Structure 1
Amino acid sequence: MKTTHDPVIRAGAPQPISTAATAQGTLLFVAGQVPMRAGKPNGEDITTQTHAVIDMIRNILVRHGCSLSDIVKTTIWLTDARDYPAFNSAYAAHFCTDAPARSTVISQLIAPVKIEMEAIAVLPNSP
């Protein structure tokens, strides 16, 4: 079974020791994404950051011929439980029907943001 890696490329920033995504067999594993732009949080509130991180994941999926509807599992880390209602509303705007399985955890993050999200998607033309 072939494994394909999608490297993270950040101009002028240290390169991480992982890839943005790894395709293995019929699955695409998208590494945890945080809403950062030019070294700063992309937005101050959880709603803006949620939309930003989902857009980042969408862009990774597109490079592999996938869309948000191909996601079967997400894991979300929030830094503040009080953000959960606003996060959930923003998330629901992208996953209106047939939402993927999801785990949501409250945790401290390394980046100075309110959310991190990873996803697992089924690659196109998979059985």
Structure 2
Amino acid sequence: MSTQKPVKQAVVTDRAPQPAGPYSQGIVSGDLLFTAGFGPQDRANDNAVAPDVAEQTRQVLRNIQAVLAEHGATLDDVLKTTVHLADLADFAEFNDAYREFFTEPYPVRTTVGSQLANILVEIDVVARIGA
């Protein structure tokens, strides 16, 4: 019987939006945790979505915190974020809310304009775990 760890392990929490398709909320491989792209649905409030990009950003990051916490990680463990904004004109408002959740040294980040379905922001992260 092999004692080797699986190459990838799913991370699942009921405190973040559930997958809407064939993907995992998060995957651990080695000492890295990768999250799916999360939108601003609030599980504690019947999946409500706030009307502005700042509050949507805060909820997205709370969703990501929930997935990280399932594996004992925090936003301080995040190395990289990828951000999709429905309108790049919202960047300053998004950036102010984003800054509330991270401390220096900040994760590297890519921010792109994307066509999103009825939301203003989606974020996924890569975090180092077990450090």
TM-score (norm 2): 0.84
The 1:66/1:87 distance shift into structure 2, 3 A limit, reads same
Which residue is 2:37 aligned to? 32
Q: By how many angstroms is 1:6 displaced? A: 2.2
1:47 paired with 2:57, answer no
Q: Which amino acid aligns with 2:130?
A: P
1:6 paired with 2:11, answer yes
Contact 1:78 1:116 in 2 (8 A): yes
CA RMSD of aligned residues (A): 2.0
Which whole-Å deviations, capped at 9, do the CAs of 1:48-73 have from their partners, x for residues lacking one? Answer: 00000000000100001100000000
Match 2:99 to one of 86, 92, 101 = 92
Which residue is 2:28 aligned to? 23
Q: Report matched runs for 1:73-92 at 5 Å.
A: 73-92=80-99
Q: By how many angstroms is 1:16 displaced? A: 1.9
Q: Which amino acid aligns with 1:53?
A: V
Q: By how many angstroms is 1:39 displaced? A: 4.8
Gaps of 5+ in 2: none
Q: By how many angstroms is 1:97 displaced? A: 1.6
Gaps of 5+ in 1: none
Q: Which amino acid aligns with 2:119?
A: V
1:108 paired with 2:129, answer no
Which residue is 1:70 aligned to? 77
Question: What is the count of residue pairs matched by the alignment?
Answer: 121
Which whole-Å deviations, capped at 9, do the CAs of 1:81-117 have from their partners, x for residues lacking one? Answer: 11000000111111132110000000101x3100000
TM-score (norm 1): 0.87
Q: Which amino acid aligns with 2:118?
A: P
The 1:98/1:14 distance shift into structure 2, 3 A limit, reads closer
Q: Secondary structure at the match of 1:105?
A: strand
Q: By how many angstroms is 1:8 displaced? A: 6.8
For 2:35 and 2:19, how far apart are their aligned partners in 1? 20
